Each structure stands twice: as C-alpha cells, then as structure tokens.
Structure 1
Amino acid sequence: MKTLISQAKIIDKRHGQNGEIVDILIEDGVIQKIGASISEAADEKIEGDGLCVSIGWMDMRANFRDPGEEYKEGISNGLKVAAKSGFTAVSLSPDTTPAVDNKGAVEYMKNRAKSSGVDIHPIGAVSVGLKGESMSEMYDMHQAGAVGFGDDKHPLNESGLLHRALLYTSNFDAPVLHFPYDSKLIPNGQINEGTLSTSLGLKGIPAISEEMMVRRDLTLLEYTEGRLHLGPISSAISAELADESRQKGLRVTTEVTAAHLAFSEEKLNDFDSNFKLMPPLRTEENRKALIAALKSGKIDVISSDHSPEDEEHKKLEFDLANFGMAGMELFFPMVLSAVGNEIPLDELVEKFSISPREILGIDVPLIAEGEKANLTVFSIDESADPIKLQTKGYNVPQADQNFKGRVIRTFHSN
C-alpha cells in the first residue's frame, strides 16, 4: 500500500530539511521518496492545514494498569490510546500488580506490543515489589529489555538503596529514574502547600519536599558517578539544581509532565479531583518558571504521565480520590496550548521524540528514503476532538475544552 503525506513541514532538528514543506511517499511501511512535490499515484493521501511530520513520538512515562487493573486501561487498549495520541513508543511504569520486578514481567510487556504499531520499553522496578527494601534483579531485567529502573511514584526514601542502585546500574549504563519526593515530610498531603490549600482546608505538599530530595539525589549521583533521571518534577528550583549539577559534569536529566506545563493549582478551586496529581500542580508563577526552564534546556523531557483511573477511584471526596490524570490523548494539545510560540516547534517536539530515546539508550528513527517509517503526522492549526476518546480512564482533563493541535496519524511497523 502506498500513502502520500502531502505538503507537510518536517519537524526534526537533525534533519537537513528541517522546517521545509515536503511530500513523503510511504510504501509497505518504508519511506520511498521525499520531495517538494511527488506526483506518483498513492492509495491514500494525507493532507490538511498546518500539517507537520516528525519522527514518531515517545512517551517516557505511562501506566496502562496491566497486569492487575486492566479495567482501568489495559495494555491492548493503552497501545491504541498511545497511537491515537501520536506515540510510536512508550515507557511503561513498573507500578502494576504484581510489580515489574523480574525478567518474566518485562518479557510480558515486550511481547504484548508486537504488531501494535507502538513499541513498549519497560521500566523495571529498583526494589522488589516496589517496597523500597531489597534490590531487584535489575541486570536480568535489562537483558530482557528493561531500558531503565525506578519505583515510579514510590520514592526511594532509603538513601542506601538509591546509592546501591546507582552503583549497580553503572555496570550496564542504564539510568535510574527517581521521583524526588520526601513523602515523610508531610504525610498524606493533597495539593500544593500555600494560600489555596489553606483556603480549601486541604493538607499541603510543600515544594521543599521535592527540592530536598533532589539535593540528596544529586549528592548521591556525584558520589557514585551513575546516571540519574529525575521526574516528574513540579518545582522550577528542582530544574535549576539539576542543571547546576549537569554543568559540573554529572549525568542527570529531568522530566516534566504536560499537565504541569498547562495547568496550575487554580484548577483545584472547585475540588476537581481530575487535577489531583502527584507531584501536585503548583502556582501559576511556578508553571511559567517551568516553561522558562524547558525553553533554556534545563528540562529534557515532557511526558504524559498517563495514569487512568475509574470513576470509583476518582469521583469521591477529594482527600479519598486517587492521584493521577489520564492525560495521553490530550498530551500534544496541552503542551501546545501551554507553550504556544515561546519555544520553536522543533525544540519542543525533541522533548518527546529524540530526548527520551537518547536518555534510555533507544535508537532514534530517521526521516530518510529507504528507512522504515516511524513517523507522527500532526497539525498545529486543527483542533483536538476531546469527545472521541479511546482511553477507559474517567480522569480526563478538560474534556470539554477546545485545544489547538491534533494528531493525524502515526506510522510504525513493529
């Protein structure tokens, strides 16, 4: 089958035709021609206003609740959500039931992705059962296909465990992914600590609970000379601290979610639990500072942190509702609406296409004749259609809002 992508702007910093409008002819999953105008007949033609094409996007943080809670999403449906959202690759969280803490669990995830059009790159757990106690068999998981190691939203409060993990993973050059949050500082916190938390009568989570842990993590990183990925972060100060360490030669990268770029704590004024996130949404001033950090290169990755929940776990009293947002399908519209023209489009797309792959040691696709097509086609002018959602998640943000930016199609044969 032949497909012609007509008059699309190439968005790829590495490409010699970056920013140019071209036609791309794909036949049986392979890029056959790239040119200013291709007249060859095709079975399918893709065209539209503001059409762009980049390498296939990668979501560095998502949870399909499989195994254990497939009714909230499941890998099969989650992969459909990913493709619809523009992703040809996802890194899946180890926070499942049971946890991804062994070779068999990694292989289960990898095998489920076959012929789906979306690659799964599992993140293995650092600790057995995500309990933060004994270290898992990370090398075996790495051999099976795990690309990094972390306990997702279970912070490694025990410094010795993170120390050992950084040392151990250095043997095979895999990054440790850590969510920096001192959960013991303010137990059972609900939203950002500040005026709003006081007025709503909710227990606050101060930014220092993140920043303190970032400082500790960076100290351990300097001592071990390992590789560390911090995220998702919610404080712009965390990005500054990590960048200072990077300037000293430490191998550290950072990640922010689309929601933390698009929204502030003001969304919680009416106790909407769809905006109850971990880490919490913080002030509008901090949101703008995160965008500035992204623009200056102090933040490396934007993820969806897709965390679908059912109505039973979200539509209840705020302090009882689970944290998380089913943010994958509105990922690109959220990012585009948040950043606007503040960051060049090629630099923005790099944060969720090239950077995640480079951090995790995954081959970066090429837009070139003769290469297998691994592409995302999208429009920056057309609006998203939030009504036609694929996710099973109840907790979708702003489902009635008309965001700019729409994913048209992905191409990838796996």
Structure 2
Amino acid sequence: MNIPGTPPGAPVAPLGFTWETLPVRVVFRAGAAVTATPGEAARLGLRRLLVVCGSRGEATARAVADALGDRCAGLHAGARTHVPVPVVDRAVEVLRAAGADGCVAVGGGSATGLGKALALRTGLPLIAVPSTYSGSEMTPVWGLTEHGAKRTGRDPAVQPRSVVYDPELTRSLPVPLSVTSGMNALAHAAEALYAPDAAPLVPLMAQEGVRAMAGALPRVAAAPGDPAARADALYGAWLCGTCLGGTTMGLHHKLCHVLGGTFGLPHAETHTVLLPYVLAHNAPAAPGALAALGRALSADDAPRALQDLAGRLGAPRSLAQLGLDKADLAVAAERATSQAYANPREVTAAGVLGVLTAAWEGAAV
C-alpha cells in the first residue's frame, strides 16, 4: 500500500485490502455526555443501564447517571487499571443484581475496559463516554489481567454501540495525565502506519490523528481549560483509536501489555516512555511508515520528535521512573517474545531487551 505523500505519478491503488466498518455510532460535541447519552440509550432500546466508572471519575459518571434518569439501573465505581478479573467478577454480580440490559462506561481506558469485559461476559450492549484520550472506545479489543498476565483479544461484542465524545469532560483532566493519555493515542496511529492489515483509510486517519494530537498537547499543557485545544485533542484521539480498532498492533503494544499486566506499570505513562524506542527500533524495517509519521509531526526524525514532545511537556522519560526494576527487563523481554505477532522488524529476545534497556535508562533515541 502507498503511504500518502508518494511522488506524483507513483501507483496509488493498493494491491488488495479488507476493511470492515464496525457497528458504532459516534456523537461528538460539547455537553454531549449529558445531552446525548440518554438519546443514544433510547435509540438502542435500552431501559436499564448500569453506569460504570473508576473512583476518580465518579462525579462525572454521576452526572451521566442523573441525565439517564429512570433508565439508570445504578452506578458502579469499581473500574481498575488493566481490568483485573476479580474486578470484572464483582461488576457482573452488580449488573445482574440490577437487572441491567446494557452498560454505560464513563471515564478513561479502565472504565471502558470494564464495560467491554461486561459486554464480553454478558453479551449486553455498551455505550462509551470517554474522558481521556486512550482510544479504546473505538476498538473491538478487550483485555483482562489475571495471575500477573494480561490477555487480550478481539470480539465484535465488546465494541461500544455508541461513543459519546464530549470535550468538556476532558477540561478537568490533569495536564500530566492529558499528556501521557495523548501519547498513548499517538502510539495507536504510529503502529497503524506499519500494520500489515492497514486498509487505505488507515494511513489517512493516522496522519490526521497525529497532526491533531501533537498540535493540541502543547496547547492543552499551556491552557488546560482551552475548549478548542481540548476538542482538537479529543478529535485526534478518536482518529487514533479508530486506527487501533482497524489494524493489528505490533511490538510497542505487546510490550505495554506485558509491562502493565505483569509488573503493574501505569498504562499511559508506559506508552509514553516506550514509543520512541520501539519506533527507532522498527525504523529500518518501516521507512515509509516512519516518513509518514515524520510528515505528520513536521519532523525529520519521528522517534526523536515524539521523545522531545513528551519531555517538553513534563512526561516521564524512563521505565526506571515508573518503578520497573532493572532485573525485570529480561523477564519482560522473554514474555514479549513468547508468542509470534506482526511487527515490521523481526522480534527477537536480544532486540527487545535492547529496546527495554534503553527505555529503562531513558537514553536519547
């Protein structure tokens, strides 16, 4: 497939591709969390919705629950990072006790992850109201953590039937979390650019998503309450998340799942630290993708540009900062190479250990 930006006269038609449109409706506007969610529930024919969230987002979730009125069957603030199985077990009990016929997940990736786990277990429809830039709401990907390992999979049943984007919800998101959540979104687009199953729309969405997010984050950091900056970042997150939902991710996402599920590292921060190192590692095998990413960032060296962006905005710079012990690097490398998966450069234990070591030290890419 040709990446946008190929020379004039170069072939533009792909040799072949598959593109599946997921059954999701997106509503994007200020105030939509309260004004649009009840209508989305009615459109889906849902009468008793359980609202799920994490403890930090309970106030926002309560506002959504109140807007649902009689359609709200209760609020469960039990979402946790990396979606531990015991947390899901408890949420299933709450959902069934409430007699719910659907679920509304309000919050970041943890809340959406719990909502997806409930959909996977029960088959009930999910509405997502994201308050961060994680992008999970636009994918049929689920994840569960049990016994120190994170399992992921794809199932159309977990794809939210409606996604309500409200930039107002992100205005109170602290700047450090805004930055790392935005870098998480950028990782989805970056790996989509070299995904083996990317349809022609993917590189277009990926580059637009990167441009929007990378342009918005410095403005968000400078003026966290700026509605235009917040809207641009959320727009970028939607595009980057759509790329994640439509392609197969590679080494970067695998490493983040291993470090999060096995060692408990925070999800968005881990994405932020690792992304430049994995991209630099893959660059020799994916020159077209890295060139496209560089164009979207207006930079000659995309990995260095992303590392510099994160550094300027005060994000963590190393895995050591996130609490990972150096002795854990070999274990992480072994787990990340235990199964085959798509990646432009051959995945080897030595290569992965090199990436992790550089990221642990916080070396310049």
> Which has a greater percent of strand?
1
- Higher Cα Rg, which structure: 1
TM-score (norm 2): 0.30
TM-score of the aligned structures, taking structure 1 as reference length: 0.28
User: Higher relative contact order by CA 8 Å / sep ≥ 6: 1 or 2?
Assistant: 1
Pick the structure with more helix per residue.
2
